[in-house]
Chains A and B, each alone.
Chain A
Amino acid sequence: MIRFENVSKVYEDGFKAIDNMNLHIKKGELLVLIGPSGCGKTTTMKMINRLIEPTEGKIFIDNKEISKINPVELRRNIGYVIQQIGLLPHMTIGENVALVPKLKKWDEKKYMKRVKELLDLVGLEPNIYINRYPAELSGGQQQRVGVIRALAADPPIILMDEPFSALDPISREQLQDELVRLQEEINKTIVFVTHDMDEALKIADRICIMKEGKIVQLDKPEKILQNPANDFVKNFIGEERLERSNVLPSINDVLVEPMTIEPNQTLKNAVGKMRKYNMDNLIVVDMNGNYLGVVNIWDIEEKFQDNKLLVKDVMKPIPSVNENQNLNEVITLMRKENLSNVPVIKDKGQLKGIITHASVVEKIVC
């Protein structure tokens, strides 16, 4: 959706704020940019709506190079929430929210309806608030208006630069929850800048950790917690959070080596293997190691008399999990489906290992 290709930004005074950045933001994801002050988060974000022009490299939105798009047009299709909120103090809340739709020449009925919907969405009763002025709202309410103003014209992309940083912890938590809920509902591509690691972990689909104009690590929150790329990331996350996250081991820690069999083997061979290893089931994989299903000793027993049958005829598919899922989800699945073991699959479909009750219990208890 948004793609940075070898983008660098050198400010007029010669300071290199962004250093050869490559970044791909996927459609519909909430990407959090985080890093110490001055690492280039705001610069990165403002290059997306051309408030800042890169000195080198290209930025694409939906494969269109943005330097070729009229900046005014471009910005009207990108929601923008800034830290200072930036509501126009001389316009009412309604006028503020309706601003971009008006600039885009929507008709009045349509945008008034939209404004009311949005106010409702963030819990501001339209009848009360629509004709108020920004100065007549609390900080948290203003911040909400700042957020819905960015949503008003229904842009596919929304940029948010530390939108909640000025708020008290309670309003901040509330707004984070609202954002997560909104994101599920409206499914926009959101780029969100923050200083606050807890905030990032809470809302992000992926977190991009930056340092001195470079990306240090870009991954899902749980992945970053499990495998911080280096000491900088570790420090940045903080010991405390790492420990908290380590209460549950990762999937990789509870994997055990699976006993496998190929689909064209005879049932006799299967039983032989089970006996040898003292197992009641085997995972069926093809020649390339792709997961196909499971054969169980009870299924074989029923059909053992039939000589013509092979493993592939009696195997059953059982639910499997992806190696990127977290252990919590896996445990939930095992409980719900009452599974004694779950195959773990790599992204390309190959079997990586299995998780059994025993392997989980052993890790968690120790």
Chain B
Amino acid sequence: MEKIIASIKDILVARWPQILDGTLGHIQLTLIALFFAVLIAVPLGIFLTRHRKFADPIIGVTSVFQTIPSLALLGFMIPILGIGKVPAVVALTIYGLLPILRNTYTGIIGVDKGVIEAGVGMGMTSRQILFMIEIPMALSVIMAGVRTASVLIVGVGTLASLIGAGGLGDLIFRGIATATTSLILAGAVPAAILALTFDYVLKSIEFKVTPRGLKK
């Protein structure tokens, strides 16, 4: 045990630049993928609340994406988009869609009908209903989806190094290839910390943006 800790220390010192590099690359990858996932899933989720007959099939399709093993999904990207960051971002985005889409949809559907009726009855337009009532009230549910997606993306993101996207996966796979446990850990531990950090940061953002009246 002591030996492992000592060697981790060595690796940390020796590989510091790579770890930093890998972490930054990973953050970048995650943020970009998360950004696109939010950009697609939130409006799509809102659209589905307005056209509910499409909700089941479309959420169904995204669930199917989710069940594709992450490795296979990344593999699919190669014939279509080649290797590198772009196919990795696409695959990670697809991975992040479901939790955000599902939470946006259920979050908005779940907004108290009485409040919406009061809004309509007071003469709010459907845009105002969306932006002044539905989104604020569903925000914490939507944010929970974004958090889940971010943790997923950070995790799957380690595999993205297999198609040449860089990130912490580089360290892990090199460690596996050379059977160096400490190298694997040098990739895996920051990845885990990163996942927790994303979760934490998004949670604080969520708390900040939640109005006092909705805090439990």
Residues of A within 8 A of B (CB): 49, 51, 71-77, 80, 82-92, 99-100, 103, 133-136, 146, 149, 159
Closest chain A residue to B132 by CB distance? A88
Q: Is the CB of B123 within 8 A of A87?
A: no
B115 is an interface residue with CB less than 8 A from chain A: yes
**CB-CB nearest in chain B for A70:** B123
Number of interface residues of B (CB under 8 A): 23
> Can you name the residue of chain B whose Cβ is closest to the Cβ of A85?
B114
**Residues from chain A with Cβ under 8 Å of B14 in the complex:** none
- Given A75-B123, A100-B122, A103-B128 in contact, is the A90-B137 Cβ separation under 8 Å? yes
Which of A71, A73, A80, A136 is in CB contact (< 8 Å) with B118? A80
Question: Which of B116, B121, B136, B214 touches A75 (beta carbons < 8 Å)?
Answer: B121
Q: A92 → chain B, closest Cβ, in Å? A: 7
Report 21 cross-chain contacts, Cβ distance below 8 Å, ordered by A residue. Answer: A72-B123, A75-B120, A76-B123, A77-B123, A80-B118, A80-B122, A82-B114, A82-B118, A84-B113, A86-B112, A86-B115, A88-B119, A88-B132, A88-B137, A89-B112, A91-B213, A99-B122, A103-B123, A103-B124, A133-B211, A159-B121
Given contacts A82-B114, A82-B117, A84-B112, contact A89 B123 (CB under 8 A): no
- Please state if A133 and B212 are interface contacts (CB–CB under 8 Å): yes
| B125 in the interface (beta carbon within 8 A) | yes
Contact yes or no, A90 B121, CB < 8 A: no
A51 and B123 contact, CB distance less than 8 A: no
Is B8 interfacial (CB 8 A cutoff)? no
B115-159: which have CB < 8 Å to A? 115-125, 128, 132-133, 136-137
Q: Which residues of chain B are near A74, meaning CB under 8 Å?
A: 123
Give the residues in chain B near A149, CB-CB below 8 Å. 122
Tell me which residues across on chain B come within 8 A of A90, comparing CB atoms.
136-137, 211, 213-214
CB-nearest residue of chain A to B113: A84
- List the interface of chain B (C-beta within 8 A of A): 112-125, 128, 132-133, 136-137, 211-214
Across the two chains, which residue of chain B brings its CB closest to A136? B213
Complex partner residue of B121 from A49, A89, A91, CB under 8 angstroms: A49
Give Cα A88 to B137, complex, Å: 9
With a cutoff of 8 Å between Cβ atoms, the chain A residues found around residue B119 in the complex are 86, 88
Q: B213 — nearest CB in chain A belongs to which residue?
A: A133
The answer to whether A89 touches B118, judged by C-beta atoms less than 8 angstroms apart, is no
Task: Give the complex CA separation of A76 and B123 in angstroms.
Answer: 5
The 3 closest A-B pairs by CB, nearest first: A86-B118, A84-B114, A133-B213
Bound Cα distance from A331 to B88, whole angstroms: 91
CA separation between A88 and B211, bound complex, in Å?
Answer: 11
Is A51's CB under 8 angstroms from B213's CB?
Answer: no
Residue of A51, A73, A76, A91 with most chain B CB atoms under a 10 A cut-off: A91
Chain B residues positioned under 8 Å from A92 (CB to CB): 213
With A51-B120, A76-B122 in contact, do A89 and B114 touch (Cβ < 8 Å)?
Answer: no
* CA A99 to CA B123, docked complex, whole Å: 10
Q: Note all chain A residues with C-beta closer than 8 A to B212.
A: 133
Q: In this complex, what residue of A is CB-closest to B120?
A: A51
Which of A49, A71, A86 meets B114, CB within 8 Å?
A86
A141 to chain B, nearest CB (A): 14
> How many angstroms between the C-alpha atoms of A73 and B123 in the bound complex?
7
Q: Name the CB-closest residue of A to B126.
A: A72
Q: Which residue of B lies closest to A89 (CB)?
A: B213
Q: Which of B113, B117, B122, B212 has the most CB of A within 10 A?
A: B122
